[in-house]
Amino acid sequence: MALGYVRPARPEDAGEIARIQLATWRVAYRRLLPRHVLDNLDEAWLARRWETAVRQPPGDTHRVLVAVEQAEQSYLVGFAASGPVDAEALAPNEPAEALGPDVVAVTDLLVEPRWGRRGHGSRLLAASVDLWRESAFTRAVAWVFDGDQACRKFLTAAGWEPDGAGRALDVDDMLVPQLRLHVAVPTEPTEAG
């Protein structure tokens, strides 16, 4: 088990968050998304978006957390982002009120592959759940690529399950199927793994 911790992201973390996102996507999604799409993602553009998300979140319950590996030096190794459900959390043709104000959406939960299987994902998820509970969310949802077995296995091991919703993202004229997972937010504090 790695020594590490989770903390709220800071604006100066934006570049590392973008780097982690690109590195993770290019490994985890290399068989799911067209290679040229992954190769052409702009790290600087992503960093600007993450800096805005951290510096000026849309609301008090929008959170970006980072996982830090502690060794001789500390390294940012993963991150999680979540907030109240919006149109992006809905399935096609699902009414806006279908999920309700007590539901939080996970938009990102990534650990850079070289730092995987060291407890960072579990710590990020546990810290997120604790914040969701404090914010009175009772349920969480997350879209995952149907072919992303690692993410599905991680979340289902933590109690998440499909809620029956599905969609397909149009990525450069290629439809990539996703399914939505959900879980009840526990009423008691969680333990990080």
- The CA angle 169-170-171, to the nearest 5 degrees, is 105
Largest CA distance in the chain: 51
pLDDT in tens, 27-61: 888 888 888 888 888 999 999 999 999 999 999 99
pTM across the whole model: 0.90
Tokens of 112: 């850079």
Q: Kindly report the CA angle at 192 between 116 and 84, in degrees rounded to 5? A: 90
CB 167 within 8 A of CB 143: yes
pLDDT tens for residues 63-100? 999 999 887 778 899 999 999 999 999 999 999 889 99
DSSP state of 185: P
9 touches 66 (CB < 8 A): yes
Which tokens belong to 60? 């008090």
pLDDT bin (cut points 50, 70, 90) of residue 115 is low
Render pLDDT for 95-109 as a digit per residue (tens, 0 to 9): 988 999 999 999 999
Q: Which CATH code fits 4-138?
A: 3.40.630.30
Tokens at residue 14, please?
A: 């934006």
Answer yes or no: is pLDDT of 147 > 90. no
Does the pLDDT value for residue 117 go beyond 80?
A: no
pLDDT category of residue 1 using cuts at 50, 70 and 90: very low
